[in-house]
Amino acid sequence: MNPAGTGPGSLQHPRFARAFARAVGAMDRRGATDHRRRVLAGLQGSVIEIGAGAGSSFPLYPPAVTHVLALEPDDYLRAVAETQAATASVPVTVVAAAAENIPAKTGSADAVVASLVLCSVKDQAAVLAEIRRVLRPGGTVAFYEHVRSVHPFLAAAEDVLTPVWGRFMGGCHLNRDTLAAITAAGFTVRDNQRFGFAVQRLNPPLAHILGTATSPGPPG
């Protein structure tokens, strides 16, 4: 059963999805492909990618990954991702699902990939608890996310902009401290790099984090 408002049917953002699918290639050429490659390096076995978008990570999975279950609730982006799956570096299955309700058995995954998606989910804590549920003890959450600025003035601006920004950007929040949320969910951060990255030429750089954390296994 999906928590209220988190079934794939309630997570459609058709205008944002079309704009994102058009823009993601330029973002990847500006540096996101390199970031994606770094976050996927070292993964192996059975992987779940939440909010896979246009499937930009699919060609970049290392050969030690045996299968990727890619979740994408938005119909338009899922269709693009399905096309991309056909040319992926490893077997990829794309499904209509939200990260709040991952269609996988408890403790079954070796790794979960969250790439530019924990900014957009409605309830980060619920999604991180669900990621913990599906990961085996010692499993990896690999994250590449834009996050709240450490500069108080910029963080305050992000707080002010987020309600409007989110309306046009598929529910994205500019102001989330995602690393703190990952730690609060019980994961142990193994490595983390923090850097500024402008996703488009005229955009100001946003703080990003890229790294891995280890799961203690499903809660309770």
Ligand X SMILES: C[S@@+](CC[C@H](N)C(=O)[O-])C[C@H]1O[C@@H](n2cnc3c(N)ncnc32)[C@H](O)[C@@H]1O
Q: Rule CB under 6 A: choose which of 40, 43, 48, 50 binds ligand X.
A: 50
Nearer Cβ to ligand X (137/205): 205
| Residue whose C-alpha is closest to residue 24's, from 62, 101, 76, 65 | 76
Nearer Cβ to ligand X (115/137): 115
Helix (H, G, I), strand (E, B) or coil at 35: helix
Q: Rule CB under 6 A: choose which of 84, 120, 124, 140 binds ligand X.
A: 120
Is beta strand 109-115 parallel, antiparallel or unpaired with respect to 206-214? unpaired
- Calculated CA dihedral for residues 61, 79, 131, 60, nearest 10 degrees: 10
Which stretch in 68-76, 156-164, 179-187, 207-215 sits in contact with ligand X by CB under 6 A?
A: 68-76
Cβ of 1: how many Cβ atoms within 10 Å?
A: 5
Using an 8 Å Cβ cutoff, are 86 and 145 in contact? no
Nearer Cβ to ligand X (102/152): 102
Q: Tell which positions 157-216 bind ligand X, by CB under 6 A.
A: 170
Nearer Cβ to ligand X (138/205): 205
- From the CB of 54, what's the least distance to ligand X, in Å? 6
116 touches ligand X (CB under 6 A): yes
124 touches ligand X (CB under 6 A): no
Is residue 146 packed enough to be buried (19+ CB in 10 Å), middle (13-18) or exposed (0-12)? buried
Is beta strand 135-146 parallel, antiparallel or unpaired with respect to 45-50? unpaired
Which stretch in 83-91, 113-121, 156-164, 195-203 sits in contact with ligand X by CB under 6 A?
A: 113-121
Helix (H, G, I), strand (E, B) or coil at 49: strand
Q: Rule CB under 6 A: choose which of 40, 43, 47, 52 binds ligand X.
A: 52
Q: Which residues 6+ apart lie within 8 Å of 191 measured at CB?
A: 211, 212
Nearer Cβ to ligand X (117/185): 117
Residues engaged in binding ligand X (CB under 6 A): 6, 11, 20, 24, 50-53, 56, 71-74, 77, 98-100, 115-117, 120-121, 170
